[in-house]
């Protein structure tokens, strides 16, 4: 059972779509990782935006680059299309206090991640379109890949079509920031947020647990911390392997390993139960924690920041982290 998404590329975004930006004032709210990159790309595409930011060092950078910089409230009020590019955790308060008061019916709010909108944390006035243009790329590379024309993947969606032409605006913004060079995949705030959270809460904890468990078992078997940690990750070999996975495929890259390694990997993988405990755990994370909104409610609690600090302290005091610090000190790395 395969579900495929529609993909928009430069050649499928026509002049009519691009006209959605003509005569409309664009504002980039926040001049950080994504904001600085998307503002530069918009300008090079012929749609110079206003920049909205607090008066600080980011503002100096934006002015040096020749942008018209205003307060966030002023830029939002002047904009017909506002790109919300401040950190996710500050968006609900900032939209409520500074952005929403300046938005009028017919304007468009563009989010670069689906989390806050999907979980109901953004209060946007009626009559305002809400769309998502979410690069799957860090800000610096959003700029570099626009300049070298390599492009980057991007998720796009219309979340609220109050005007009836929100799709035109979405595709035009995606194209102007370089998002249709690599391919703008039609998605939704729900899908973008859920997949992001799923990687963070299912996939990466499982990988971290694999490394932590492998360390414990190998050390208990009598092998040295130096040998074990270098085998597991200090050598950066896993990073090399993952780079090849991206280029040559999950199994295509196996040809780079010895035949002994290939046999060991595939023989052990075949013995694992695909429908086993891991699949059940991943399904629980997806449905019970993420899609139910339980995680979002937990992370919205005022005490959640303190809990994050406590979890950091706990991780830093764990056996593998302690061993890593000692090995790094001995290796001077």
Q: Binding residues for ligand NDP, per CB under 6 A?
A: 30-35, 53-54, 56, 58, 72, 85-88, 90, 94, 112-113, 134-135, 138-139
Residue 196 among known ligand-binding residues: yes
Non-local CB neighbours of 206 within 8 Å, separated by 6+ positions:
278, 281, 282
- Judged by CB, which is closer to ligand NDP: 110, or 320? 110
- Judged by CB, which is closer to ligand NDP: 30, or 178? 30
Min dist. Cβ of residue 202 to ligand NDP (A): 19
**Facing residues of 109 across strands?**
82, 130
Rg (CA), the chain: 23
Min dist. Cβ of residue 1 to ligand NDP (A): 29
Phi, psi of 149 (to 5 degrees): 65, 20
Residue 64 among known ligand-binding residues: no
What are the tokens at 68?
A: 């018209």
- Judged by CB, which is closer to ligand NDP: 169, or 215? 169
Q: Which residue is nearest to ligand NDP (CB)?
A: 32
Min dist. Cβ of residue 209 to ligand NDP (A): 25
- Judged by CB, which is closer to ligand NDP: 151, or 225? 151
- Judged by CB, which is closer to ligand NDP: 56, or 126? 56
What are the tokens at 102?
A: 């300046």
Min dist. Cβ of residue 10 to ligand NDP (A): 20
What are the C-alpha distances in Å from 195 to residues 117, 222, 287, 291? 15, 39, 12, 10
Min dist. Cβ of residue 246 to ligand NDP (A): 17
Min dist. Cβ of residue 55 to ligand NDP (A): 8
- Judged by CB, which is closer to ligand NDP: 93, or 106? 93
- Judged by CB, which is closer to ligand NDP: 38, or 327? 38
Torsion of the alpha carbons at 60, 25, 110 and 17, rounded to the nearest 10: -130
Non-local CB neighbours of 98 within 8 Å, separated by 6+ positions:
71, 72, 73, 76
Annotated binding-site positions:
196, 200
Would you list which residues are annotated within the binding site for Mg(2+)? 196, 200
């Amino acid at each position: 059972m395969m579900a495929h998404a529609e993909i928009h590329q430069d050649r499928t975004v026509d002049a009519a779509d691009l006209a959605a930006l003509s005569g409309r004032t664009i504002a980039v709210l926040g001049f950080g990782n994504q904001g600085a990159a998307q503002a530069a790309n918009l300008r090079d595409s012929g749609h110079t935006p206003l920049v909205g930011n607090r008066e600080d060092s980011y503002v100096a950078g934006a002015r040096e680059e020749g942008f018209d910089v205003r307060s966030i409230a002023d830029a939002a009020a002047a904009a017909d299309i506002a790109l919300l590019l401040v950190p996710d955790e500050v968006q609900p308060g900032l939209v409520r206090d500074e952005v929403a008061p300046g938005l009028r019916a017919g304007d468009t709010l563009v989010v670069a991640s689906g989390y806050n909108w999907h979980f109901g944390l953004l209060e946007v006035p009626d009559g305002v379109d809400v769309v998502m243009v979410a690069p799957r790329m860090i800000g610096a590379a959003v700029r570099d890949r626009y300049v070298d024309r390599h492009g980057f993947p991007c998720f796009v969606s219309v979340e609220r079509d109050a005007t009836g032409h929100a799709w035109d605006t979405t595709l035009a913004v995606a194209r102007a920031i370089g998002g249709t060079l690599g391919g703008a995949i039609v998605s939704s705030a729900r899908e973008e947020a859920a997949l992001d959270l799923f990687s963070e809460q299912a996939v990466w904890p499982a990988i971290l647990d694999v490394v932590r468990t492998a360390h414990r078992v190998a050390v208990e078997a009598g092998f040295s911390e130096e040998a074990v940690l270098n085998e597991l990750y200090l050598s950066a070999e896993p990073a090399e392997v993952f780079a090849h996975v991206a280029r040559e495929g999950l199994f295509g890259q196996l040809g780079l390993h010895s035949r002994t390694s290939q046999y060991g990997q595939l023989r052990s993988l075949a013995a694992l139960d695909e429908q086993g405990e891991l699949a059940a755990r991943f399904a629980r994370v997806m449905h019970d924690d993420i899609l139910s909104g339980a995680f979002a409610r937990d992370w919205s609690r005022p005490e959640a920041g303190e809990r994050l600090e406590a979890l950091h302290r706990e991780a830093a005091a764990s056996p593998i982290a302690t061993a890593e610090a000692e090995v790094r000190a001995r290796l001077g790395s």
